[in-house]
């Protein structure tokens, strides 16, 4: 599933082609996504100028004068910038033709993504209760410490809760907890403020590095024959169960938490 760095990489890839462009035509080939594409979406969008392409958590916003298009990539979705007029493929469900002739095309084989409309994005139910962005000044160890008091939730589940902080998906939760030396099953309410400072910095560092590495694939968002713009990064623990810990060489262990793979070092993380 695309996580925050992949979504931010997508935003950076499509923004230069979309911002300031008038939407000439909207085609919805299959409205049956995670939530139905609004019937009136083409009418709302055609003739509008895309003022900005922004990201909030794992949502992308196409900001127009009249409102905002909310796009979520779901589990298998991708946005492509088509400049070669390639014909639509089987799972190309939504596309915008821009004044420049560029086509912004949404492909989603599993159809868990979404295209929605919001008159006022700040009041939209999916958006208004989201926690702070992990790379913002608002997100820090003190905030995590305060929100965790009396929580019996495992720390890995706590930092993956979008009401606490957005965009810390499974891969990056594994990596950040390893860097901070915190066991993924430790109760959130039993972690000191000093250790939360370490964890907040580890989350920022991990996501920032992933976004930076994702930037090397921006060219892949252009044209239909490009590879998906998701990067392969050097992971410290995720996907390395049974291999030596990069710090102490103890074999990394794997457990399942909420149905998700969780890899950690029993020696370095406590």
Binding-site positions: 91, 110, 151
3 state SS of 159: helix
Catalytic residue, candidates 3, 6, 95, 175: 3
DSSP per-residue codes, 68-108: EEEEE-TTT-EEEEE-S-PPP-TTEEEEEEETTS-EEEEE-
Phi-psi region of 26 (alpha: psi -120 to 50; beta: other; left: phi over 0): beta
3 state SS of 52: strand
Chain-centroid distance of CA 179 in Å reads 21
Q: Is 195 a catalytic residue?
A: no
Catalytic residue, candidates 55, 58, 80, 195: 58
Catalytic residue, candidates 2, 5, 134, 184: 2
CA distance 171 to 104: 28
- Identify the residue whose tokens are 């239909």: 224
Three-state secondary structure string covering 15-48: HHHHCCCEEEEEEECCCCCCCCCCCCHHHHHCCC
Catalytic residue, candidates 187, 204, 260, 267: 260
Q: Is 54 a catalytic residue?
A: no
DSSP state of 248: T
- Helix and strand numbers, DSSP H then E, in the chain: 7, 10
- Identify the residue whose tokens are 């993380």: 269
DSSP state of 143: H
Number of other residues whose CB lies within 10 A of the CB of residue 221: 23
Q: Is 95 a catalytic residue?
A: no
Q: Is 185 a catalytic residue?
A: no
Residues annotated in a binding site for DNA: 91, 110, 151
Q: What is the signed CA dihedral for 139, 141, 145, 147, rounded to 10 degrees?
A: 0
Provide the annotated active-site residues. Answer: 2-3, 58, 260
């Amino acid at each position: 599933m695309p996580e925050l760095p992949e979504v931010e990489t997508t935003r950076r890839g499509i923004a230069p082609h979309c911002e300031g462009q008038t939407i000439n035509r909207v085609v919805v080939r299959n409205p049956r996504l995670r939530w139905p594409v609004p019937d009136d979406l083409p009418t709302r969008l055609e003739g509008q100028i895309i003022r900005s392409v922004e990201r909030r958590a794992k949502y992308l916003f196409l900001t127009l004068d009249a409102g905002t298009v909310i796009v979520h990539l779901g589990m298998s979705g991708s946005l492509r910038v088509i400049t070669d007029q390639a014909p639509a493929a089987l799972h190309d469900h939504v596309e915008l033709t821009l004044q420049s002739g560029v086509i912004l095309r949404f492909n989603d084989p599993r159809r868990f993504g979404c295209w929605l409309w919001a008159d006022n994005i700040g009041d939209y139910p999916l958006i208004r209760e989201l926690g702070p962005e992990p790379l913002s000044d608002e997100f820090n160890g003190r905030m995590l410490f305060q929100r965790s008091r009396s929580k019996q939730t495992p720390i890995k589940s706590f930092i993956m809760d979008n009401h606490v902080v957005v965009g810390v998906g499974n891969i990056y939760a594994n990596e950040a907890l390893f860097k901070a030396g915190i066991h993924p099953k430790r109760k959130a309410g039993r972690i000191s403020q000093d250790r939360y400072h370490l964890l907040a910095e580890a989350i920022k560092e991990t996501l920032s590095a992933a976004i930076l590495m994702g930037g090397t694939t921006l060219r892949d968002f252009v044209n239909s024959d490009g590879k998906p713009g998701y990067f392969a990064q050097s992971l410290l623990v995720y996907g390395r169960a049974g291999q030596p810990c990069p710090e102490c060489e103890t074999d990394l262990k794997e457990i399942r938490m909420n149905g998700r793979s969780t890899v950690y070092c029993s020696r370095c993380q406590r």
